[in-house]
Amino acid sequence: MDSTTIIAAASIITSGLAIGIGSIGPGIGEGLAVASALTALAQQPDSASVITRTLFVGLAMIESVAIYSFVVSMILLFANPFWNHALKAAGVH
């Protein structure tokens, strides 16, 4: 295998790992946040608007971690900074 093939394979594998591992934490965090919010709503139904608003802000913050891992994955696939170096070393450019 030449160096460009190795870099392509490493980029694809790393991209898959980034999105896979990067979505496990937010998934668990969102589940725990919703479970806690439902428990709080069951105990304090009068403060439902405050709990719901705080829940949605927290879910947005948790989801941003998954979005960041998605962005890193897309950078590895489509804007890989190592491609230019690998192509130059291979004599293509």
CB 70 within 8 A of CB 26: no
pTM equals 0.74
Question: What is the block-wise mean pLDDT of the chain (93 residues), using blocks of 10 residues?
Answer: 80 90 94 96 94 95 93 87 74 68
User: In terms of Cα–Cα distance, which of 19, 21, 17, 8 is closest to 77?
Assistant: 8
Q: Residue 73 is part of a domain; what is its CATH number?
A: 1.20.20.10
Report the domain count for the chain.
Answer: 1
The whole domain housing 26 covers: 3-90
State the burial class of residue 18 (Cβ atoms within 10 Å of its Cβ: 0-12, 13-18, 19+): buried
Query: Residue 82: what pLDDT?
Result: 76
Count CB atoms within 10 A of the CB of residue 8: 17
* CA–CA gap between residue 2 and residue 47 (Å, rounded): 62
